[in-house]
Amino acid sequence: MRDVAIVGVGQTRVGELWEKSLRQLGYDAIDAAMKDAGVEKADSLFVGNMLSGELAGQEHLATLIADFMGMRGIEAAKIEAACASGAAALRVGTMAVASGMADVVIVAGVEKMTDTLPPETTAGLALAADQEYEVAEGATFLALNAMLMQRYMHEYGCTREQLAEVAVAARKWAQLNPDAFERGDLTIEDVAKARMISDPLTKLDCCLVTDGGAAIVMTRADRAKDCPKTPIHLLGAAMEHHHRNISAMPELTVTATAKSGPRAFEMAGMKPADMDTVQVYDAFTINTILFLEDLGFCAKGEGKDFVSGGRIAPGGELPVNTNGGGLSCVHPGMYGLFVMAEAIRQARGECGDRQVKDAKVSLAHGNGGVLSSQV
């Protein structure tokens, strides 16, 4: 297997991008990534998307974007693993380059979440739950995540204030990021007393809903030396799921990250203590706590204390979600690719005011469904 390096990263503006179509957002992100990488063509395009068809009325997205960009004679495919789609697509691209089946691979993700009517948005998000066994009984995507949060609070004595620490830390990072969507001041009290969405989830425990696109260019390590930017080497990757429906979760407070994380560390020959930054998928405040535990940064049940006192905020012991995360920076359905992009930019030293000193090694994580797919 060949060593693989990332040589290009591109992102669009984020927020309510009414004037941009899906194909245009894809074009903008990929064009920026290719220019960043100094490449003019690729062998493969893998698009990691979740809700393009359901919300924007457009499927077969990979070929749509490839055609729009004038890419011919390449393989183009959409990779779907719910919100983990971007991370899953990056792993597929890694395998293509490592195996020798491709030399240059573009991985992209694009989503428009804000220009649809509320009933359509609600229906689209409900697809994350099982239509026959969960949605039919009234269990929405938010309600299912609220159940996980409720169980963790009950089992480990976690308080609303400890969960709110996650959102506040994310906002402090976002305030250092000029590209973040939400940058206003935020307090623990603001989060805990915000409008209730699904008990105990308040509005500020939940991620943003935005438009946006991101793209990454990867190639074999020996070719990467000729690219203009410092190549960022992919050292380890793993993906696992152990349930589809929440009713099939072996334990409500343990995710499949507890399996895929250690496998990725083993492949990389590293351990949690070696990470300079940690970028985890934070669709909800409880996610960050669960993933830090399952990845081995603290023991099960200790995450609530681990995130307290600004420990994961700027100036804390462990820089987590340094772009502001899905809670404050950006969250289209395929947010996982933005997680990867932030890890890469931190390793390159390109993050300006939020740059973590001497950041060389990062962990990036994608989550899909109700804690189902973990990459």
Q: How far is CA 326 from CA 44, 148, 175, 279, 332, in A?
A: 28, 18, 14, 10, 8
Please check the confidence at residue 51 and state whether its pLDDT lies above 70.
Answer: no
Q: Give me the pLDDT at residue 21, please.
A: 84
232-254: pLDDT as tens digits:
999 999 999 988 888 888 899 99
Tokens for 90, please give them.
Answer: 């990056």
Please check the confidence at residue 292 and state whether its pLDDT lies above 70.
Answer: yes
Please check the confidence at residue 43 and state whether its pLDDT lies above 80.
Answer: yes
Of 207, 331, 351, 365, the active-site residue reads 331
Verify whether residue 83 is a known catalytic residue. yes
Q: Give me the pLDDT at residue 118, please.
A: 57
- Mean of pLDDT over the chain: 91
Closest alpha carbon to 184 in 198, 205, 165, 167: 167
Please check the confidence at residue 68 and state whether its pLDDT lies above 70.
Answer: yes
Give the integer Cα–Cα distance in Å for 20 and 10. 16
Please check the confidence at residue 333 and state whether its pLDDT lies above 80.
Answer: no
Environment class of residue 221 by beta-carbon count within 10 Å: exposed (0-12), middle (13-18) or buried (19+)?
middle
Q: Give me the pLDDT at residue 112, please.
A: 80
Span 86-91, mean pLDDT?
92
- Residues of the chain above pLDDT 70, percent: 94
Residue with more model confidence, 216 or 82? 216
